[in-house]
Amino acid sequence: MDINSIQAQIEGDLIKIDSIAGLEEVRVKYLGRKGLLAELTGSIPNLPVEQRGIFGQQVNALKNKLSGLLAEKEGILKTKDSVFKKNNLDIGMPGIARELGHIHPITQIIDEICAIFIRMGFSIVEGPEVETEYNNFTGLNIPLEHPSRDAFDTFYLKNYPKLLLRSHTSPVQVRAMKAQKPPLAIVVPGRVYRPDAVDASHLFMFHQIEGFLVDKNIRFSDLKGILELFAKSVFGQDIKMRFRPHFFPFTEPSVEVDISCIICKGQGCSVCGRKGWLEILGAGMIHPNVFKQVGYNWKVYTGFAFGMGVERIAMLKYGIKDIRLFFENDLRFLKQF
Amino acid sequence: MKITYNWLKDFVNLKASPQELAEKLTMAGLEVVALEKVGGDFVLEIEITSNRPDWLSVLGVAREVGAIYGLKLKNPKLKEPKIKPNDLWPIKISVSQKQDCPFYSGRIISDVKVGSSVQWLKERVESLGCRSVNNIVDITNYCLFELGQPLHAFDLDKLGNREIRVRRAHADEKIVTLDGVTRVLGPEILVIADTQKPIALAGIMGGKETEVTAKTRNILLESAVFNPVLIRRAKQKLGLQSESAYRFERGVDWEAASNASLAAQDLILKLASGKPAGFKSLGVTKVTYPVINLDVVYLNKVLGTAITVLKAKQILKSLGLQVQTKTRSILNVKVPSFRQDLKLPVDLVEEVARIYGYAKVPQTLPAVKPGQAVLDKRDLLGSIKNILCGLGLSEAITYSLIDRALLKKSGINADTGIIEILNPLSREQEILRPELFPSLIRILAYNLDQQQEQVSIFEIANIFSGQANAVAEKPLLGIALCGAQGFFTKQGLIKDEISLLHLKGILEVLFSRLGIKNFDFTRQQDNKINIMINQKQAGFMLDLNPQEQAAFDIKNRQVVLAQVDLDKLFGGINLGKKFSDVPKYPPITRDISFVINEGISVQELLVAIEAKGLPLLKQAKIADYYQGKQIPAGSKGLTISCLYRLDSRTLTEAEIVPVHNSICSLLEERFGVQLR
């Protein structure tokens, strides 16, 4: 057997090896005391004198080469073995990490909505929860003794006859407009209070988000455009919208905005009361009387305002049927968000 | 409010189906909330907004339907019948204060035959959910529903001296109303009286005594306008709602008051026979119609539309307004008495937009001029929430209104400065909370009760306190922790019972993340630790004792709480960042393990070590601690890791030996530790 075919045979043998034990067999076969290379070395004296030198060198070179190949293969097999060991780990075991907490769903909705308006260029402003009767009503063109106030049942405070718990976030309109001149682009999130009997859809405390834009040349069409952008960002691009005339003392024209029911896609279901539509917010062009109260010239400036209940939006978005869950703070509820 | 489809057809030649009509009305601002087939008719239930009392009638809605569909309104005018002088009865009516009752009319119809109503009349009033009483009462109700004007028929012969006096009730005067309830009145309530006593609550409900019964022969038919605020106050005071009061507090139409009286008489003569025997009215006789100038340029500017002058004019006219073109774009609009809600040009803009269709107004996007984009408190609160969330705490939102009992349970006895609610619906809403943590204990207890092993919650909310003339609102951060925090390591599950140190760790991470450098925790009482920011108290940590836990039915747990004044926390925040070089040369660390009396504060120890080790010692920190069987009771085992480094070159072992030894001696000599 010549040197070259032996080398080919060795390489062929090595390829098939996939374990350290198998490699040892190969080593014994070639490099062992009675191995093939020992045999070749042993055959040297039988060769003609002039060939002995060259053949000896070739056998030595093969020996070195083989040692190298074996070492290399051993290295590969050892790594492979340790990989096998890692694969013995049961990946079904629990992962190791500390649990994160959860942000309250109401905060998440408020942040999501505020972020949409911040991207449009609005600023966030907040106001106090204890308000004056003026900011909550009179400044917003809500007469003191009129049925339009029935919609704003209000908690009053003992010993503070002019103060109340704000029944909506709109008083911040009055505050912001008295504090600065147009242009204004403001969004107001916050807690509001109404003495409503508690049931699955009513509570005495809830959250609202108010928004308003005041400048020269702000139009009802702008209100429609902004609200569509907003509603599609929150509820998805494929919703339909409708704008129904309505009445609010602080806006004229006023509108209530419905979206096609996100549960039944407008077919009519229990959530939308078979109507196919869900009311999500009230809005309108800021009433000239409100501008008069804050000292803006209504012939120069126009503006729109809108307001929505955060709990209602969260209930629709997450499919929550009882508003009280938000304030029970059961961890099994909170951890779902 | 309910109306029926066929009834509307009495006034307009309506071709649209009830379903289509409902849709159109809704999109014009009369939201139809229910549509129901009743017999051969359809009943529409409409939500009428409080600014439109004129829609509280079939006629009013028919007028709207006419405008929507471009149909002419059929509204025949009745004439006052001529009465022979011999048939005229004397009518005595007086109104004590004109502002209480700007218009009052009485009509006498004699020799009526009271009986049950004819079928169609009965069906109509019943279709709107009104009980049929007798022909006279049904006719007054019919006219109320049809024309929107509340009417009342008195049995004339039961009126003392057959006289009507519109006046305020005397203190403690009494009346038995039609519903059989005896009501005690007062001077804030307007009544209709005869010479002796009240016979009706003006605008709200008639009296039992003068009610029309089967025996009634002669009636006095009242049609009036009362002061809306007065009716509203009386209604609220008496807790009494009625179809009449509902309309009067919204304001009725002066002209309709006369028309309705005539219409009712007409029906009574037809359906209950009788003879007209006199009419008398007091107060307003002529109404002036206010004029509003509407510039169509302004209209389009507000709406973002291109509605023509002609179109605007046509819409306004279809709503029953008198419109004349004043200049090229300005319309001169005369407001009829049934539209007292129309006061400003913008009110007319809405009218045009409603009928034109909100849907047809285009959608545009305004150029928003952004305000100052500064990082404000709200952004910081967002960061705080996210950091706490990252530390495993969940956010709770609890009511700002609480019960006093909750304060007492939490060991708060403060009585001054508590803000009380004047009109709470229940005990749970009696005060505005002066502290945040009681609400969190309650939530924590609730969750433990729901078998939650571990509760880590926080809330950011305002608390309230009373000052001389104002109420102060202060934002607080509250944290409540309880239970064993279980987490996996390579060695398996480790359960770590939450303690004050966990709470401290959370606050430390929070504070340092917000760039608060100067903070400290100092013991105030055994179970209460003060949180100091910039040397001032900014809050506290509390380890709830067993009695306090028992008040919330928590048993055998460790509950720790924190409350931080956020304004004080904001004062310590410094989000500015400054880079210092990453060390170029390696440090040498040496640990010291020792046993020390457990009364000695670790912090004191570290401060002393760091002072001693200057300038080579860069940091000394607790590397491990132990308390248990292997060391004597009353002491703790500590390992402190000292890190030595020079910024200019690599330190040698020989250089740190003297420093490290001096630290060890300090520990032995000053703190009496036993080195191990």
Mean pLDDT of A147-172: 90
CA pair distance A272, A270, nearest whole angstrom: 6
CA pair distance B525, B519, nearest whole angstrom: 19
Chain A: closest CA distance from residue B52 (Å): 9
Q: What does the block give as tokens for B325?
A: 């073109």
- Chain segment B245-261, per-residue pLDDT in tens: 999 999 998 888 999 99
- Chain segment B413-472, per-residue pLDDT in tens: 877 889 999 999 999 999 999 999 999 999 999 999 999 999 999 999 999 999 888 999
Q: Are A227 and A257 in contact (CB under 8 A)?
A: yes
State phi, psi for B619 to the nearest 5 degrees. -160, 140
Q: Judge if B452 and B558 occupy the same domain.
A: yes
Residue type, position A46, single letter: N
User: B366 in a domain, yes or no?
Assistant: no
Q: What does the block give as tokens for A177?
A: 């407009």
What is the CATH classification number for the domain harbouring B525? Answer: 3.30.930.10
Residue type, position B565, single letter: D
Contacts of A282 in chain B (CB under 8 A): none
Token pair 């503070």 is found at A160
State phi, psi for B266 to the nearest 5 degrees. -55, -45
Residue of A nearest to B470 (CA): A160
Question: Looking at B298-379, which runs of residues are DSSP E strands?
Answer: 322-325, 330-334
pLDDT of residue B85: 85
What is the CATH classification number for the domain harbouring B660? Answer: 3.30.70.380
pLDDT of residue A229: 95
Domain ranges of chain A: 3-87, 105-334
* Cα separation values, B375 from A210, B346, B514, B618, Å: 20, 38, 13, 35
Interface predicted TM-score (ipTM) of this complex, two decimals: 0.90
Residue type, position B513, single letter: R
- Chain segment A50-87, per-residue pLDDT in tens: 888 888 888 888 888 888 888 888 888 777 655 556 66
Question: Looking at chain A, which runs of residues are DSSP E strands?
Answer: 123-124, 130-132, 163-165, 184-193, 205-215, 241-248, 251-260, 277-286, 302-309
H or E, element range at A235: helix A220-235
Percent residues over pLDDT 70 in chain A: 97
- In this structure, of A44-48, A181-185, B504-508, B618-622, the range with the lowest mean pLDDT score is A44-48
pLDDT of residue A82: 59
Q: Judge if B449 and B566 occupy the same domain.
A: yes
Verify whether the Cβ–Cβ distance A148 to B51 is below 8 Å: yes
pLDDT of residue B486: 81
Question: Looking at A88-183, which runs of residues are DSSP E strands?
Answer: 123-124, 130-132, 163-165
User: B579 in a domain, yes or no?
Assistant: no
Q: Judge if B617 and B496 occupy the same domain.
A: no
- Chain segment A233-274, per-residue pLDDT in tens: 999 999 999 999 999 999 999 999 999 998 888 888 888 888
pLDDT of residue A55: 83
Q: What residues 31-90 of chain B have any CB closer than 8 A to a CB of chain A? A: 31, 49-52
Which has the closest alpha carbon to B482: B527, B544, B415? B544
Q: Judge if B298 and B207 occupy the same domain.
A: no
Chain B: closest CA distance from residue A334 (Å): 7
Q: Any CB–CB contact under 8 A between A216 and chain B?
A: no
Verify whether the Cβ–Cβ distance A252 to B344 is below 8 Å: yes
Q: Any CB–CB contact under 8 A between B180 and chain A?
A: no
The residues, any chain, with a CB within 8 Å of residue B501's CB and separated by 6 or more, are none
Which has the closest alpha carbon to B238: B312, B149, B164, B173? B173
User: B495 in a domain, yes or no?
Assistant: yes
Q: Any CB–CB contact under 8 A between B369 and chain A?
A: yes
State phi, psi for A183 to the nearest 5 degrees. -75, 145
Residue of A nearest to B51 (CA): A247
DSSP state of B630: T
H or E, element range at B470: none
Verify whether the Cβ–Cβ distance A242 to B487 is below 8 Å: no
Kindly list the strands in the beta sheet with B322-325, ordered across the sheet, starting from the edge strand earlier in the chain: B291-295, B330-334, B322-325
pLDDT of residue B393: 97
Chain B: closest CA distance from residue A28 (Å): 42
User: B636 in a domain, yes or no?
Assistant: yes
- Chain segment B335-346, per-residue pLDDT in tens: 999 999 999 999
H or E, element range at B98: none
Residue type, position B36, single letter: E
What is the radius of gyration, based on Cα positions, of chain B?
A: 40
Of residues A205 and B84, the one with the higher pLDDT is A205
The angle subtended at Cα A215 by Cα A211 and Cα A219, nearest 5°, is 75
CATH superfamily of this structure's domain A105-334: Bira Bifunctional Protein; Domain 2 (3.30.930.10)
Verify whether the Cβ–Cβ distance B364 to A221 is below 8 Å: yes
CA pair distance B667, B675, nearest whole angstrom: 9
User: B17 in a domain, yes or no?
Assistant: yes
Q: Judge if B214 and B100 occupy the same domain.
A: yes
CA pair distance A273, A288, nearest whole angstrom: 36
Token pair 């040369």 is found at B585
Q: What does the block give as tokens for B481?
A: 């922790």
- Chain segment B108-144, per-residue pLDDT in tens: 999 999 999 999 999 999 999 999 999 999 999 999 9
CA pair distance A101, B392, nearest whole angstrom: 4
How far, in whole angstroms, is CA B507 from its chain's centroid?
35
CA pair distance B433, B590, nearest whole angstrom: 52
Query: Which residues partner with B221 through β-bridges?
Result: B107, B153
- H helix intervals, B128-241: 135-147, 228-238
Q: Judge if B604 and B662 occupy the same domain.
A: yes
Which has the closest alpha carbon to B616: B582, B581, B645? B645
Q: Are A285 and A253 in contact (CB under 8 A)?
A: yes
Verify whether the Cβ–Cβ distance A221 to B362 is below 8 Å: yes
The total of structural domains in chain B comes to 5
Mean pLDDT of B77-82: 86
Handedness of CA A267, A269, A275, A276 (dihedral sign): negative
Look up the domain containing B544 and give its range: 377-572
Which has the closest alpha carbon to A331: B395, B481, B483? B395
3-state secondary structure of B113: coil
- Does pLDDT of B193 surpass 80? yes
Kindly list the strands in the beta sheet with B588-597, ordered across the sheet, starting from the edge strand earlier in the chain: B617-626, B635-644, B588-597, B674-675
DSSP state of B467: -
The residues, any chain, with a CB within 8 Å of residue B249's CB and separated by 6 or more, are A146, A147, B228, B229, B231, B232, B235
Q: Judge if B264 and B298 occupy the same domain.
A: no
What is the CATH classification number for the domain harbouring B270? Answer: 3.50.40.10
Domain boundary among B222, B252, B283: B283
- Chain segment B574-603, per-residue pLDDT in tens: 888 899 889 999 999 999 999 999 889 898
CA pair distance B466, B464, nearest whole angstrom: 7
Mean pLDDT of chain B: 93
Q: Judge if B223 and B346 occupy the same domain.
A: no
Query: Which residues partner with B107 through β-bridges?
Result: B221, B279
CA pair distance A101, B393, nearest whole angstrom: 4
Query: Which residues partner with B520 through β-bridges?
Result: B532
Nearest-CB residue to B423 (from A102, A156, A163)? A156
Interface size A-B, in CB pairs within 8 Å, comes to 255
- In this structure, of A295-299, B509-513, B597-601, the range with the lowest mean pLDDT score is B597-601
Nearest-CB residue to A331 (from B302, B452, B489)? B452
pLDDT of residue B246: 95
What is the CATH classification number for the domain harbouring B349? Answer: 3.30.56.10
pLDDT of residue A57: 85
Q: Is A245 exposed, middle or buried (0-12, 13-18, 19+ CB in 10 A)?
A: buried
Chain A: closest CA distance from residue B54 (Å): 14
* Cα separation values, A273 from A261, B26, B30, B41, Å: 10, 15, 18, 23
pLDDT of residue B583: 92
CB atoms within 10 A of CB B324: 11
Q: What residues 316-335 of chain B have any CB closer than 8 A to a CB of chain A? A: none
pLDDT of residue B254: 84
User: B581 in a domain, yes or no?
Assistant: no
Q: What does the block give as tokens for A218?
A: 């702000």
CA torsion angle for B571, B573, B577, B578 (degrees, to 10)? 60
Confidence of residue B493 (pLDDT cuts 50, 70, 90): confident
Q: Judge if B329 and B442 occupy the same domain.
A: no
Mean pLDDT of B378-401: 96
H or E, element range at B530: strand B528-533
Contacts of B350 in chain A (CB under 8 A): 245, 252-254
Q: Any CB–CB contact under 8 A between A44 and chain B?
A: no
Q: What does the block give as tokens for B197?
A: 């006593």
CB atoms within 10 A of CB B282: 18
Confidence of residue B375 (pLDDT cuts 50, 70, 90): low
Q: Any CB–CB contact under 8 A between A179 and chain B?
A: no
Verify whether the Cβ–Cβ distance A130 to B473 is below 8 Å: yes
* Cα separation values, B410 from B400, B554, B561, Å: 16, 13, 12
Contacts of B249 in chain A (CB under 8 A): 146-147
Q: Are B441 and B559 in contact (CB under 8 A)?
A: yes
